[in-house]
Structure 1
Amino acid sequence: MDAVRYQSFAAFYPYYLDQHDHRMCRRAHFIGTSLALGAIAQALVSRHAWWLLFALACGYGGAWVGHFFFEKNKPATFGYPLYSFRADWIMYWQMLTGKLSW
């Protein structure tokens, strides 16, 4: 993690995007987040909470695959968990809407 401590989300988000420069990392994030959303929906429909564990595994699994195998860096979540959670959803939305390539 950089020695810099980000004091605002606006300052953090460019760093977050820089940590997701590799297209396959962003794709792994997108796929993992999409699967997590599906698992959350399934948990609500089926009323089986174990789907929420699957959602966590998908979300974090996709991110970790992207970082460890493609980006070759440590996920920003380890140093900035709240900013990273927010940034991941913004990045997901930007990929979904075509504002960021995936």
Structure 2
Amino acid sequence: MNTSTPAASATPAPVDPRRFTSFAQFYPFYLTEHANVTCRRLHFAGSTISLLCLVALVVTMNPWWLLAGLVAGYGFAWVGHFGFEKNKPASFKRPLYSFMGDWTMYRDIWAGRVKI
């Protein structure tokens, strides 16, 4: 009787983002959660719109631009995750590291280290 199961049929256990103790450990995981190019593009668009909203906030001093920036940033990202990546955003469990990851990935896209 063969009691072993093929490794290919085993589903890897989901990674809990709370296990990471530093951003340096978290960021490679963050990138694996953004493997879908459409998801990355939506993150990039949302981050860009958020920056434009921040500029509008400073120029107009209208606090509604802060809300607009948050809605744009998270809205685009969540559409990317739920609609294309088919995973839950890590921001639900590691909000600070996820926020840092968004902007690190944004920088890395501009630098050509992450492809869109």
* TM-score under structure 2 length normalisation: 0.84
Query: 2-side partners of 1:14 and 1:59: how far apart?
Result: 21
Aligned alpha-carbon RMSD (Å): 1.1
In the TM superposition, residue 7 of structure 1 has moved relative to its aligned partner by: 1.1
2:35 to 21, 27, 39: 21
Question: Which runs of 5 or more structure 2 residues have no equivalent in the other structure?
Answer: 1-13
Query: 1-side partners of 2:59 and 2:113: how far apart?
Result: 31
The verdict on how the C-alpha distance between 1:64 and 1:8 changes in structure 2, with shifts beyond 3 A counting, is: same
Q: Does 1:2 align with 2:11?
A: no
Q: Which structure's relative contact order is higher, taking Cα pairs within 8 Å and 6+ residues apart?
A: 1
Larger radius of gyration: 2
Q: In the comparison of the two structures, how many residue pairs are matched?
A: 102
Question: Which runs of 5 or more structure 1 residues have no equivalent in the other structure?
Answer: none
Runs of 4+ with >3 A deviation = none
* TM-score under structure 1 length normalisation: 0.95
2:89 to 65, 75, 92: 75
AA aligned opposite 1:2: V
AA aligned opposite 1:47: M
3-state SS of 1:53 partner: helix
In the TM superposition, residue 97 of structure 1 has moved relative to its aligned partner by: 1.8
AA aligned opposite 1:8: S
Q: Does 1:31 align with 2:45?
A: yes
Query: 1-side partners of 2:76 and 2:42: how far apart?
Result: 5
